[in-house]
Structure 1
């Protein structure tokens, strides 16, 4: 049952409690095999005593088997349920008919591995019951479906009701980390635990993958709020692991209380849940009618003022610089701003949703694209070699609208599409993946880059995004905001995981919302490609960008230039700073740890080398945190004098060192090292912590090797993994 989307035996046991005739069939290359059958099904289907693990075609003659197998074939080939009625296989001279439903159970690849068959005698009208139960029951948790919950609520309209709408945070990423089977088990546990917390007479249903609905009766507002807090608190008992770090499950709840029709209560609770998610994890929002009415009034005023703003050219474009962490190239994101004479400064989060409810979003988009194109043409020195990102609204995610409001304007202005990057959201792709795939392919063919904005807060997963020809992702600021705080190892682990997986899919990674130097240093050490946020620059009008960028480079990058000078002059002040950082980590002379040993084993296997090690280099020695393949005395004492190692070169020169054949190297000192050690190949990558080079990640071999660019980049990626583990270590001590 490995990798199945549902547990076949669980489903069989569940339906066996509802129906007399239930069949669990395994699908393989030979046909359909009976794995479990209810006693009544054995009798009414005239199965022999030795039915278990036998096939349909083995048990029945062709006349009986062929029609039955054809129904199973349809399920297996389409992956969809099949409903049919047919004559029962009873040993009787009376023809009796039954209604049947065949439901597929697929693996993660969509292949049908099992089929559940439900059959009942038509004479007692059970076909209607059969269909109703399938619609009303969530097969995984056994909870009522949304349809069933609404039916129950409709019978309780004269009761004082409160609806709680629960959404599990980061559900798709949890699915990515745990896999489908473990995630399903987690959902079942959450459903069971939540049910225990509810007062008698409550209703708990499952709406979708990560959403549950709860109805409680006769509670006052404070009691409902307390219940919501208890439910969210109970979620933290369930955890999932990322890079050996245990992370608690969190969620958000929206609440709506009577009066109102059940449908409106659910809708309003859902709206409150969406507001709660905007506030962050473990948030609760209560839907208030007066607030809703005022919001509608405010929207109407804003819509009228926005219409005038477009006529009077009140919208402007600001640019937020983004720094490529590898090349120091600066790119930009174009952000619309509105300064209203009537409303004052109106944030985009306020007026963009209003515009998206009308066709005004088309005019807003056209205005932004025109202004960006004009700025690129008028200030080419600022935008040279830079990419400028423009956000595409979901309301415009249609080929014709994109043509009219993006492509036509860009062609008209004579701007190269390659200089532009289009940011879309996960929801836009998930709404219609086939259409999304076609639109992205079209945009890429024209020359645009396409990236996913706010990655991690919505529905998709990186593995799913491999289906689309995307160029990159932007990690949502909610993942970034806490990584520089004390005990932030869980947030670092999540960001590290996202970056690592994105790299495997060849996706460029941008981190938005970077506000501190500590966040900047952590993200660059984790291998993040691009940094965006107030630490680098706020969104700015065009005329202020150049001076702000120059100030940033003078303030920050001058230090990096100092590193290079220190490597040449061996400046003792920089060496003292480096040693101070090693002292901060408190890692010297610590015991061996599986997480570091695991890295060296993985690297050794990846490069097929006899020796791999992670080392820290202080003022006198090279100390090994983890090592494989070094001589036994070194393995035991775990250190060698610093001046007897090639890694000392890496620290002194402040850069990676690759030697493919020491015996033929022009440097006599390196040739002497070959004679002393017998090693011929060496590849050492510096390990950096908070901007200081503290040690090395190395692979070596007794034979000469060629080492290409791809291998070099792979070793650098592994070094970022080591650096992130070192940062996690510093947070624990």
Structure 2
């Protein structure tokens, strides 16, 4: 049957008074029920021992049997209540057959009282309720068994009576427990209680069956008692083993869910919340918290999980009791078990200071050793206290928590790296965008008087880089960054946009003169020579300034105007320039291109041409490169080298890239429908690699045109990657995960060549045309092309050569092992609609004169 063990920390007196009175009322009702059932039972006040005479169980034997069954139980926790499932039907059935009602009642009360007082140490209220319930269940069982026995005679009928008596007694127990739980928790649900009364005793019929076997055996020969005792001991041991295995299984399942929860989120608060919730759930504890001592300060920070599931924080000095606990757990790294039965003076003092009955404290480790203490106090219910197995369980939770917290620290570092330049340590373009948006919001709302952006481009950096090498160039950038930060101080935030371009954000810029003075201080910081490899080199800078709200109130507009001012300063060799509206009119063609490029994109004036690519081994055309073309109605053909930078500076590079991708994939789908499985390669600009929406846009367009991802190749230059390596490489990995092929364009002409190639998730490298066109002359270009081809083979990358203009170059590349070629010898760039006719004409020509 089931017995209640409602426990935990006492509620405040004003809240507990009502539930206690209700429980006392239920207890009194059960006592009255006991008297009534025993008085009205057939044959009362002394029921004959039944048909199996010769066996008379004394009350003390029944007491021992009840004590044994009640002490060997399976604990089931429900919120603040613990239910104990015991095989008490066994002595009940034996007592019904072989003892009188009063002996059965006395034995049950004596055995239950011994367990409640000596073993479980229940409170007086719990003891009174449990004993009254035991008495009432006994009375109901005696009444039912007596009624059945008087209605009909015979052993099978009495068997039915014993089963009915046990089941109805259990129904009484379930209903009583439900009423007590409702008294403390509230919300009595009669339907659920009735369902539990019917389905909540699956073990009872089996226990009654075992008891009836014992009755039959004892009636046949009383000497079978010893065999029955051995069988009962084995049954109880197996039951206890099952209970232990069941608890372990549930704990393992909870640990698995806990591991999933803490590893799914890098947020420290989420991890701590999951850790404390799981510690409280696994150990059935009233409270869970984490203590973080501050070394050398004598203070300790506490993070607690409240009843609502929210974290609360507090900080205070360490009490002597806290010092004892922290010294043992943090300093010595040892877990501390403080059970209810502890007699240690220090342990009792700490429990008293915490107003706790019991506790477990285990170390919480971080990357630099033990950083805190994971603590649980007061196990719910009185069925058991914390033990060594609970310590191991909490240590497991703490170990998972330590790993998750360290992963959270790693994520924080990765986020820092995503917003900072890897070379100089300065904030990067993404950081500037994040800071600029709220700064301009403050300006628009009147919370700030103004803001300013400065863009600084180094003068002479390319010469230093080309002459002394990229390593010295990197060292120069590091020194420049340090000087700019020192010069700016707290007046502005210095960021590196990429390459040799820096920016400074000033969030309190109501005074233009103060901003100009800061800009001149930045330029003066670059006047002193910089020592590089035993040489002293000089670099200057050109700086443009744009102010909000005077020049623009949006991030893109402000950055654009600072960029315009910087280019004017560089062109006029004046060092510093504040944006003025006339700067935009100083170049009418640029203004015309910006406005009309936007119109051309909206009206379909931007075309996509394609240039074929063929495999050297077979001569078969395998794909094309998409080339953007703009024929202006008045200016004529505008070179991509002219309008693509305009698109980048004006914020139109995103729509332009989307347009080229859309037209290219539409053409690829059309060729696919005609039976030509051609791939298409599209160039990405440096600004495109900074666009966080690029991956989603590519995925959307692939799905729209139903083109397999491997048919699309995205080409990037080394320089575009080096503008912000960490961010660009992360974006390339996301594109690669889509299944898109990646290519490094103009290989060998950028910043890093071999050192960065192995870090990029690319499928091919394209040899720049400047190296390919010199192959026939036998210059050093031959060695360069051969080296790149060998490198691609060893790195399992395909090598594409562009600028192949004659058959001799074609053959040289074939001998070197180049994979794919592109150039006028194969085919010039052509409109998309001309490709299929060109393919048919080429196929016919190859049939006639042989393969190219």
> With structure 2 as the length reference, what TM-score do the two structures score?
0.33
In proportion to residue count, which structure has more strand? 1
Larger radius of gyration: 2
